[in-house]
Amino acid sequence: LMVQIAFYDLIALLFAVLSSFLVSHSFSGPIRQLSAATGRIRSGDFTVRIPVRSRDDVGELVESFNDMVSGLE
């Protein structure tokens, strides 16, 4: 019985680690793109746009960023 419990605990732990990796990656990718695009704007490249890949808060942030850059051109 203890072996079974330990096995299910290990499966739950692996699932939790995988889930947290996927969620953090879905946030960090667009944030890194925003950071890189900000650097390009700082260098004078106002043609930079970031593709909107989601409709959540991060997607809205990316869309707002693109609107802001369009207003700077």
What is residue 48's DSSP assignment? -
The predicted structure's pLDDT at residue 42: 94
The predicted structure's pLDDT at residue 41: 95
pLDDT digits (tens, 9 = 90+) for 19-65: 999 989 888 888 999 999 999 999 999 999 999 988 889 999 999 99
The predicted structure's pLDDT at residue 65: 96
The mean pLDDT of 1-19, rounded to a whole number, is 95
Its pTM stands at 0.70
The predicted structure's pLDDT at residue 73: 78
Q: What is the DSSP string of 14-53?
A: HHHHHHHHHHHHHHHHHHHHHHHHHHHHHTT-TT------
